[in-house]
Amino acid sequence: MDRRTFLATAGLAGVTAAAGLTATQTAMAGTGNGTRAEVVRTLTELRVAISRAVPGSVITVANGTYAVPAGAPLAITGKRGQPDRPIVIRAESVGGVVLTGEQSFVLTGSSDVTLSGFAFRQSTTLDIPPDCRRIRLTRNDFQLADLDGLHWVMMRADDSTIDHNEFHDKSKLGIYLGIEGAGSDQMARGVHITRNYFRDHTFPGDNGGEPIRLGVSPRALSTAGAVVELNLFERCNGDPEAISVKSSGNTLRHNTVRDSLGGIVLRHGNGTRVDGNFLLSGQNGIRIYGNDHLIVNNYLDRISGAGVVLGSGNVRDHYPGEPSKSRTGNDAPDRVRIALNTVLDCESGIIGESHRTLPPLECAVTDNLLMADSGQLVNMPFQDGISWSGNIHWGQGADGNAPAAAFTRVDPRLAAGPDGVRRLGPGSPAIDAASRTYAEVDVDLDGQHRTRRADVGADEYSRSAVKFRPLTAADVGPHAR
C-alpha cells in the first residue's frame, strides 16, 4: 500500500514550504550543501528519489504515516555519498513521518547515508550490515513492535553514528541497540553513540534486555573503539546491564544512568575506559571483568547494590580460538585501575566477588572518595592482587576489610550544587591529596582541568564553569539542541 495517512498534528502546509528548508531542518540532517533537494509524498516517489540520489542529495519525506509493504522494503543499495556530502533522507519534521510494516529501510553496500527524523514502528530489526560505512541515524524515534526476542537496532557498519535518538517502551526480551560486526567474531569499528535517550524498558527477566550491548562474547577480543558518550538512561529495568560491553578498546564517558536496574558492566573484552559517568538512584553501579581497564572520575550516588564491583573469574584470560563455552566465562580482571571516583551512600562502596576462584591480579584502587552512613565502604575478598593508596573514607559506614594503609578517614567537606551533585568545598582535605599522578587523566567529572597533584575523588575543586552535569531528558533525544 502506497498511501500516506497524515498525522493529526501534521498539516499539508509544511509540504508546500519544504522547498525552502529551514535552518533547523538543515541542521537536523547535518548537511546544507545538497546538489539535489526534493520533497516526496508517496513511497513510490521515495523509491525513485533514492534510486537517483547522488552525494549531497537531500530527500525530504512529507509528514504522514507510511505502511511499508511486506517484502518490499525501502531499499538503499549501492548508494555512496561522501563524508562531507552525505545522502540525506529525512522527515519533513522530527517525528512527523511514521514508518509501519514489517521493514522500513534496508541498506546494502552503501556509505555516507543519513536517516533523520523518522518514527520507526516496524516489526523486524533495523539492521545496518557490515558492507556499509559511515551510516548516521539521527533524531529518530524508535518504538518497534514489542515482540519477545526482537532487537530493535543492530549497527554493524564501521565509523557510523547514532545520535539524538529516543528508544523507549519495551516490555519484552530484546535489546534497544546492539553493535556487532562482520562474521561471528568481529566488531564494527569507530561507532559513535551520543545524545540518545534510552528509557522505560520493563522486561522482568534477569538477562537480555540491555539498552546498549557492545558486542557478544565471541567478539570480545575484537577492538571496536566505540565511543558512548552523553547518553541518558532512565527506568532501564530490562537487564542489570544498561551498557553491556562485550568487546575491546571502547570509551564510555559522561553518560547518566538514573533510576534503573541497569549499570555499566565490562562483561567481556579488554582496554575500555569508563570516565566521568553519573550513576544515580539505581540498583547496579559499575562491574568489571577483563584486563587493562581504566575506571576514573565516575560519580555513583545512592546505588542500592554495590557502587563498584571488581569481579572474579572462572577463566584467567580469553584468547583467540578459545572454545565457545570458555569464552562465555568471566575473565578475571588484570591490571584494572579504579581511581578518582566518588561513591556516595551506596549499599557497598567498592567490593569484590568470591563465588569464582580466580582473583584479580595487578589491580589498583587509588584516590577514591567513599562515603556512606550504613553498609560497608570496602569488601574485597581477594586482597593479594590489589594495591591500595590515597582513598578517603567518611560517614558511619564501616571501613570493611580495606587495608589500614589504604585510606584516610576524614570529612571531605562535600557541598551539593544546584544539580544535586556533591562536590568538594573550600578547604576540603581531598584537595591536592592524590597519592599518585595521573598523566592520562587531565580533566575531572565536570570537565574541569586536573592539577598536577589531583584531588581525591571524581571532582577537582575549581571555580571555573562546570561543563558536564547529570543529563536530563531535555539534553538528549530527537528534539535536543
Q: Does the residue 82 lie in any domain?
A: no
Residue segments in the chain with a per-residue pLDDT below the cut of 50: 1-32, 34
Name the residue range of residue 360's domain. Answer: 125-475
Beta strands 4-5 and 64-68, pairing class? antiparallel
Residue 208 lies in a domain: yes
Q: In what order do the strands lie in the sheet with 263-268?
A: 126-128, 153-155, 177-179, 212-214, 241-246, 263-268, 286-288, 306-310, 348-352, 376-379
- How many domains are contained in the chain? 1
Q: How far apart are CA 37 and CA 55, in angstroms?
A: 11
pLDDT of residue 458: 98
Alpha-carbon distance of 105 to 62, in angstroms, equals: 16
In a domain, 60, yes or no: no
Is 324 a domain residue?
Answer: yes
Determine, yes or no, domain membership for 84. Answer: no
| Residue 44 covered by a domain | no
Give dist(CA 241, CA 269) in Å, integer: 15
Which 3 state secondary structure label does DSSP give 48?
A: helix
Three cell numbers at 182? 562482520
The CATH number of residue 245's host domain is 2.160.20.10
Q: Look at residue 109 and give its three-state secondary structure.
A: coil
Q: Is 78 helix (H, G, I), strand (E, B) or coil?
A: coil
**For residue 35, what pLDDT is reported?**
62
- Dump pLDDT digits (tens) for 123-134: 999 999 999 999
How many CB atoms are closer than 10 A to CB 326? 13
User: What digits encode the pLDDT tens for the residues 308-359?
Assistant: 999 999 999 999 999 988 999 999 999 999 999 999 999 999 999 999 999 9
Q: Which residue has the cell 537517483?
A: 52
Q: Are 27 and 94 in contact (CB under 8 A)?
A: no
Residues 14/20/26/31 CA torsion (nearest 10 deg)? 140
pLDDT for the residue numbered 12: 32
Do the domain assignments include residue 336? Answer: yes
| Cell numbers standing for residue 185 | 567474531
HEC letters along 360-419: CECEEEECCEEECCCCEEEECCCCCCEEEECEEEECCCECCCCCHHHEEECCCCEEECCC
80 domain residue, yes or no:
no
pTM of the model: 0.93
